[in-house]
């Protein structure tokens, strides 16, 4: 009988994963849309709403994780493997905060407040500034691609544990 | 006696009819539109305002403003290009919006109403614009006001863009004009 992550931890993990994938797909889609259209306007707003949802989910996750110790990694893992796993998780957490915050900052810099779900107007993180907006967008993009790349590596590692090592690392999160 | 009064009034109005252009460096015409409940501020970067206003001679006062719609900044380059299109301002056919008022009402405490003709995108209709007037030390005048304008009444945003869920009907117009003496 393996020790699993707690149910809230598992639920939050998969919800964040879904939200990140959706936000990333919408981000790429709208970034490649030329001109201005109703469709683009809507998708950009959905992207922002989902991004803020990621921020809320990851804040909840972090609070939960700090108060609920995750199960130990398998004893047969080399210590460098454990260190790489921990480091990846830390960077993933940092990016899950930084990427949505960067998007919010970019929106503020462009002079568009974020109104979450069309209901809650969030405060602007900075005054409108077209000059730095481009730089913030670039950072937001790099961060998003890094996050997706690391998440893929994280998923590949989980699959390797499951199918090659045949340990319970993936099952702990299911 | 009556004739003298009339002549004086005419003289006074003749004196006022000399409209002074607003100082573009100190004046602004901004607007706030709401897309998907997100308030976005934009501004008209080019406009000309001629003002002959005396709160003691409202009958002889006159204001005319012409806004260059092609110089609208709606917050992003995409939106600025869209503004020029048929569905929005259709600037190639209607390059300017104008407001001309010759009727004024005092509401007290430095507050007034200008009642005039507003022309936008081929439609001219009556519009009442509230404003305040404050003189400064150099005897110039600051005119300031803010009022909601129905974009649909002037067909700004046609076709799919007439959806008020995506872009609200009311656009708040905020102006500040400085007219030197």
The answer on pLDDT for B12 being more than 50 is no
With beta carbons less than 8 A apart as the criterion, state whether A174 and A10 touch.
Answer: yes
Q: Are B74 and A149 in contact (CB under 8 A)?
A: no
pLDDT, mean of residues B137-156? 94
- The C-alpha of A22 sits at a distance from chain B's nearest C-alpha, in angstroms, of 20
Count residue pairs from A and B with Cβ separation < 8 A.
Answer: 43
- Closest-CA residue of chain B to A34: B78
As beta bridge partners, residue B39 has B34
Give the pLDDT confidence score for residue B5 in this predicted structure: 52
Residue B9 reports pLDDT greater than 50: no
Mean of the per-residue pLDDT values for chain A?
A: 94
pLDDT value at residue A3: 85
**Confidence (pTM):** 0.84
Residue among B115, B169, B155, B147 at smallest CA distance from B29: B147
Tell me the backbone φ, ψ of residue B170, rounded to 5 degrees: -80, 125
CA A90, A96, A98: angle at the middle one, nearest 5?
A: 100
Phi-psi region of A35 (alpha: psi -120 to 50; beta: other; left: phi over 0): left
Question: What is the rounded distance in angstroms from the CA atom of residue A134 to the CA atom of residue B39?
Answer: 21
User: Are B166 and A41 a contacting pair at CB < 8 A?
Assistant: yes
- The distance from CA B88 to its chain's CA centroid, rounded to whole angstroms, is 18
Q: What is the per-residue pLDDT across A85-132, written as a single tens digit (0 to 9) for each? A: 999 999 999 999 999 999 999 999 999 999 999 999 999 999 999 899
Chain A residues interacting with chain B (CB cutoff of 8 angstroms): 35-36, 38, 40-42, 45, 110-115, 118-119, 121
Q: Sketch out chain A's domains with CATH numbers.
A: 7-173 (1.20.950.20)
Give the pLDDT confidence score for residue A120 in this predicted structure. Answer: 95
Which tokens in the block code for residue B99? 């407001």
Contact assignment for B38 to A113 by CB distance below 8 Å: yes
Q: Considering only A95-104, A131-140, B72-81, B144-153, which range has the smallest mean pLDDT?
A: B72-81
Cα–Cα distance for residue pair A32/B25, rounded to 1 Å: 38
Distance CA A25, CA A32 (A): 11
B31 phi/psi in degrees, rounded to 5: -145, 150
**Predicted confidence (pLDDT) at residue B14 exceeds the cutoff of 50:** no
Q: Which residues of A touch B82 (CB under 8 A)?
A: 35-36
Torsion angle defined by CA atoms of residues A34, A36, A39 and A43, in that order, rounded to the nearest 10 degrees: 80
Give first-to-last CA distance, chain A, whole Å.
14
CATH code where residue B79 lies: 2.40.128.110
Which chain B residue is nearest to residue A46, measuring alpha carbons? B36
Cross-chain CB nearest to A111 (options B75, B81, B163): B75
Smallest Cβ–Cβ distance between B78 and the set A36, A38, A118 belongs to A36
Cα–Cα distances (Å) from A115 to A52, A157, B21, in that order, read 10, 37, 39
Tokens of A106: 């970019």
Domain count within chain B: 1
Check residues A72 and A116 and name the one with the higher pLDDT.
A116
Q: How confident is the model at residue B3 (pLDDT cuts 50, 70, 90)?
A: low
Domain of B36, in residue numbers? 2-179
CB < 8 Å to A50, chain B: none
Closest Cα to residue B31, out of A90, A111, A49, A88?
A: A111
CB B91 within 8 A of CB B82: no
pLDDT tens digits along B43-78: 999 999 999 999 889 999 999 999 999 999 988 888
């Amino acid at each position: 009988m393996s020790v699993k992550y707690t149910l809230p931890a598992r639920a939050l993990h998969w919800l964040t994963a879904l939200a990140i994938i959706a936000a990333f797909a919408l981000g790429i889609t709208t970034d490649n849309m030329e001109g201005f259209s109703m469709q683009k306007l809507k998708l950009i707003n959905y992207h922002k709403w989902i991004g803020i949802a990621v921020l809320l989910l990851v804040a909840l996750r972090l609070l939960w994780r700090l108060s609920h110790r995750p199960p130990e990694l398998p004893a047969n893992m080399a210590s460098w493997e454990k260190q790489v796993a921990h480091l990846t998780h830390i960077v993933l957490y940092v990016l899950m905060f930084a990427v949505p915050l960067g998007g919010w900052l970019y929106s503020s810099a462009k002079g568009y407040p974020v109104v979450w779900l069309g209901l809650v107007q969030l405060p602007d993180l900075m005054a409108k500034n077209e000059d730095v907006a481009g730089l913030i967008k670039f950072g937001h993009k790099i961060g998003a691609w890094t996050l997706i790349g690391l998440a893929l590596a994280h998923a590949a590692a989980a699959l390797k544990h499951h199918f090659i090592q045949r340990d319970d690392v993936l099952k702990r999160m299911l | 006696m009556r004739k003298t009064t009339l002549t004086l009034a005419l003289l006074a109005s003749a004196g006022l009819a000399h409209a002074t252009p607003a100082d573009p460096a100190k004046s602004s015409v901004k607007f706030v539109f709401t897309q998907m409940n997100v308030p976005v501020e934009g501004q008209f970067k080019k406009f000309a305002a001629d003002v002959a206003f005396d709160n003691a001679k409202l009958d002889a006062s006159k204001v005319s403003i012409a806004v260059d719609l092609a110089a609208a900044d709606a917050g992003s380059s995409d939106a600025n290009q869209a503004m020029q299109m048929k569905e929005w301002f259709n600037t190639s056919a209607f390059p300017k919006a104008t407001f001309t008022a010759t009727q004024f009402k005092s509401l007290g405490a430095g507050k007034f109403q200008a009642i005039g003709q507003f022309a936008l995108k081929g439609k001219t209709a009556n519009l009442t614009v509230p404003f305040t007037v404050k003189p400064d030390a150099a005897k110039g005048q600051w005119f300031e006001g803010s009022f909601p304008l129905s974009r649909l009444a002037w067909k700004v945003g046609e076709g799919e863009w007439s959806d008020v869920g995506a872009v609200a009907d009311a656009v708040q117009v905020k102006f500040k004009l400085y007219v030197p003496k």
